[in-house]
Amino acid sequence: MERRAIGAAALGVGAIGLGCMPMSWAYSMSEQSGEESLRTVHAALDRGMTLLDTADMYGPFTNELLIGRVLKERRHDAFLSTKCGLLVGEQHIVANGRPGYVKRACDASLRRLQTDFIDLYQLHRADPEVPVEETWGAMSELVTEGKVRALGFCAVGARADQRGRADQRGRSAGSGIHAATIRQLERVQSVFPVSGVQAELAVWSREALDSLLPWCVSHGVGFMAAMPLGNGYLSGTLTPGGGFEEEDVRARHPRFTAEMMAANQPVVAGLRRVAERHGEATPAQVALAWLLAQGQQVVPLPGAKKERWAVENAAAADLRLTPADLGELDALPVAQGSWE
């Protein structure tokens, strides 16, 4: 697989990574299988999807334990990205950016992951009660100590409102969120180099193209595209009105009501049209290939919990879209219905 660099640290990764969260958190709990997940991670690594993206909050903790079982055997085949800064309670998820906590969280992640170092340690969310420079300073000390190789920053995605107000480029009222993220990035950049930024970017959610991705390009920072398949919707495998399991995060969000899923079918139809021009390509592969075409800084992180999905996603790295394909995809409507 083509290799791309993660920002300031110039660390090489496969052009498409593996989002590990669905293996133990948020989606279709009845379909989760530890053994199937292990096969999925091994299949991804075998095909060059070296970036494994996890977090301590996924589970919580169980996702890191799962990935640790693979890393124990194949640490040198993987680029490990995990996160800190969010705590999962019975009712709420809260941020914790206190320096002492960050350091304890890193040590706990290292134990669960069965490794001596983390390639990219990301701040999952900035704590509004702690100056972000203090949190980032503690994270930078982990680099000095050799526990971490590089630092990344997760951005809260900007989204269209529930009625889907947005123009054809995907701009929305939420674009101000990215402006706030950039201000935070400028602050932490003055403390220690940012190597990677993770934020939502997909063919139906393109706000990051306006300011956040350009910021990454101008600063030599890698951009990891979260939710590149629209939480599964852009794969074309979800049926409007089909419903979700009670604990599935999509069951509680307006973008995944039967009405909104039906309203967004033109996006999937557009992906299918392009896929049909490329033989056996799938809508998901077209969506990932569109992301790869947005620039060398971009590394999509499609989530997968089944081996066949990881294999399908990896093959997207070989799909070459034409200028006509890209023009057609750029003209697709943005998502209707908010995620948050």
Helix (H, G, I), strand (E, B) or coil at 121: strand
9 or 260: which leads in pLDDT? 260
Which CATH fold topology does 3-231+295-318 show?
Answer: TIM Barrel (3.20.20)
**Closest alpha carbon to 136 in 123, 117, 147:** 123
Contact 224, 196 (CB under 8 A): yes
Question: With the CA atoms of 56, 59, 65 and 66 taken in that order, what torsion angle do they form, in degrees rounded to the nearest 10?
Answer: -120
Q: Is 48 exposed, middle or buried (0-12, 13-18, 19+ CB in 10 A)?
A: middle
Active-site residue flag, 121: no
Looking only at the bridges linking them, the beta strands covering 222-226 and 196-200 are: parallel
269 or 11: which leads in pLDDT? 269
pLDDT in tens, 313-340: 999 999 999 999 999 999 999 999 875 5
What distances in angstroms separate CA 158 from CA 121, 174, 206, 212, one per listed residue? Answer: 23, 4, 9, 10
- Please report which confidence band the pLDDT of residue 205 belongs to, taking 50, 70 and 90 as the band edges: very high
CA angle 50, 53, 58 (to 5 degrees): 150
Non-local (6+) Cβ contacts of 330 within 8 A are none
Q: Please, what sign has the CA dihedral across residues 38, 40, 46, 50?
A: negative
What distances in angstroms separate CA 111 from CA 7, 13, 56, 104, 138, one per listed residue? Answer: 26, 23, 11, 11, 19
Could you give the percent of the chain with pLDDT greater than 90? Answer: 81
Question: Would you kindly state where each structural domain of the chain is located, as residue ranges?
Answer: 3-231+295-318
- Please report which confidence band the pLDDT of residue 156 belongs to, taking 50, 70 and 90 as the band edges: low
Residue 340 is predicted with a pLDDT of 57
Is the per-residue pLDDT at 102 higher than 80? yes
pLDDT in tens, 273-314: 999 999 999 999 999 999 999 999 999 999 999 999 999 999
Q: From CA 55, how far away is CA 11, in angstroms rounded?
A: 19
Q: From CA 214, how far away is CA 244, in angstroms rounded?
A: 36
pLDDT in tens, 214-239: 999 999 999 999 999 999 999 999 98
**Closest alpha carbon to 232 in 294, 166, 303, 298:** 303
Catalytic residue chosen out of the listed positions 27, 58, 121, 233: 58
- Residues β-bridged to residue 224: 198, 299
